[in-house]
């Protein structure tokens, strides 16, 4: 492939689109991990990490930096995610995933102080 034939800015546009797909993939993986069924009464390590990334201290979270690059409002994203998971039905998330998310989310709210640094 001869890159000299591309219009100026096309390579930047292609790279930006690929970066956006990568960021969404990371966020999607975190949502999937947050929907893993807990073991006994405690979420898996992956689920705890996902909750820390997605929810944080409920005012700010690690996902906010990723969403900023995607022009998505972090608090609004979190609100809608939690709203979807606590809804009675949702067309994108199966019941078992939403139930696991709720269990992990409730566990996270009770125990997050043990997993969040003081600076967050």
Q: Give the DSSP H/E element, type plus range, for residue 22.
A: helix 10-34
Average pLDDT over residues 14-35: 94
pLDDT at 4: 57
Number of domains making up the chain: 1
Q: Return all residues near 68 (Cβ < 8 A) that are at least 6 apart.
A: 74
Q: How far apart are CA 45 and CA 49, in angstroms?
A: 6
Q: Give the DSSP H/E element, type plus range, for residue 110.
A: helix 95-111
Q: What is the tens place of the pLDDT at every residue in 69-111? A: 999 999 999 999 999 999 998 899 999 999 999 999 999 999 8
Is 45 part of any domain?
yes
Q: What is the tens place of the pLDDT at every residue in 45-64? A: 999 999 999 998 878 889 99
Is 21 part of any domain?
yes
Is 4 part of any domain?
no
- pLDDT band, residue 26 (cuts 50/70/90): very high
Domain range for 57: 11-114
Is 50 part of any domain?
yes
pTM of the prediction?
0.83
């Amino acid at each position: 492939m001869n890159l000299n034939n591309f219009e100026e800015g096309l390579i930047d546009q292609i790279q930006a689109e690929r970066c956006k797909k990568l960021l969404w993939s990371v966020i999607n993986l975190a949502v999937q991990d947050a929907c893993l069924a807990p073991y006994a009464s405690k979420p898996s390590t992956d689920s705890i990490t996902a909750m820390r990334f997605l929810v944080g201290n409920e005012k700010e979270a690690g996902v906010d930096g990723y969403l900023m690059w995607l022009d998505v409002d972090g608090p609004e994203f979190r609100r809608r995610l939690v709203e979807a998971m606590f809804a009675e039905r949702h067309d994108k998330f199966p019941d078992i995933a939403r139930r696991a998310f709720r269990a992990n989310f409730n566990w996270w709210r009770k125990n997050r102080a043990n997993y969040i640094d003081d600076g967050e």
